[in-house]
Amino acid sequence: MATILACAIGIILLWRSRIPYEWKAAGLVVAAMLSTPYLHEYDFPLLLVALAFLYRHRPFDRVEWYAAVATNLLVLVFLAQLAPIGPRIVILVEMATMRRIVQLQIPARHAVATGARITEADSGSQFSRRVATPPVLQ
């Protein structure tokens, strides 16, 4: 019950924020999978939808490619019933989603601290985001 409540609160906060739609959709897919007490082999293709939304926003970097490959390998382990790792697979995709949200927040906090603003072109890049200075009023 606590997991369902945490997922519901997280999704409400996620969809009320101004982050890109693709991240919201990926978070919704993962939260829906975490909210169910049972995961079966036919549920895991939904994780590909979450990964597709993340890739749609911007191509994966090295860490995200590792997470995507590990997700698919762990699904194979799950299908072979070697270990009950269903929720761990979903959490791996959730961590990739949360990583992008955190990467967006780091430059935003820097911009607030310095009085600058982040341009739209900078919202999809890595940690090396450029910060645009505010226009000078005359």
The residue whose two tokens read 């995507």 is 68
Q: To 5 degrees, how large is the angle CA 5–CA 98–CA 103?
A: 145
26-84: per-residue pLDDT in tens? 989 989 988 887 777 788 888 888 889 988 988 888 888 988 888 888 888 887 876 67
71-129: per-residue pLDDT in tens? 888 888 887 876 677 778 888 888 888 888 888 766 555 555 565 555 544 444 444 44
* Nearest CA-CA partner of 44 in 98, 103, 86, 2: 86
The residue whose two tokens read 């791996």 is 92
Whether 67 and 93 have beta carbons less than 8 Å apart is answered as yes
- What one-character-per-residue DSSP string does 27-84 give? HHHHHHHHHSS---GGGTHHHHHHHHHHHHHS---HHHHHHHHHHHHHHHHHHTTSS-
Report yes or no on whether pTM surpasses 0.85: no
DSSP helix/strand/coil, 97 = helix
